[in-house]
Amino acid sequence: MAILHLMVGLPGSGKTTEAIRLEKEYHAIRFTPDEWHLKLFGNDFSGQWPDEVHDQRHSKVEQLMWETGKKMLA
């Protein structure tokens, strides 16, 4: 049976730290939006891009993560 852990919280609250712990404990696959974002678009967290561009990119990352997760759980 597959298990899905979803992490929600404020920036700096320890989501990634806990996700890394769970990844090791359960030999899991970790989906971290910031890591996907960096690989797909580079560092656009610097404010050099308008918020709407960053938001569109982040929405695309979330869409790809959900699609991949659904395939893994099917």
Give pLDDT tens digits for 13-71.
999 999 999 999 999 999 888 888 888 888 766 667 778 888 898 899 999 999 998 89
Instruction: Determine the Cα–Cα distance for residues 9 and 22; give it in Å rounded to an integer.
Output: 16
pLDDT at 46: 63
Please give, one letter per residue, the 3-state secondary structure of 19-59.
HHHHHHHHCCCCCCHHHHHHHHHCCCCCCCCCHHHHHHHHH
Exposure on the CB side of residue 1, measured as CA atoms within 13 A: 1
pLDDT at 74 over 70: yes
Q: Which two tokens stand for residue 5?
A: 């852990």
Rounded to two decimals, the pTM is 0.68
Q: Which two tokens stand for residue 37?
A: 């974002």
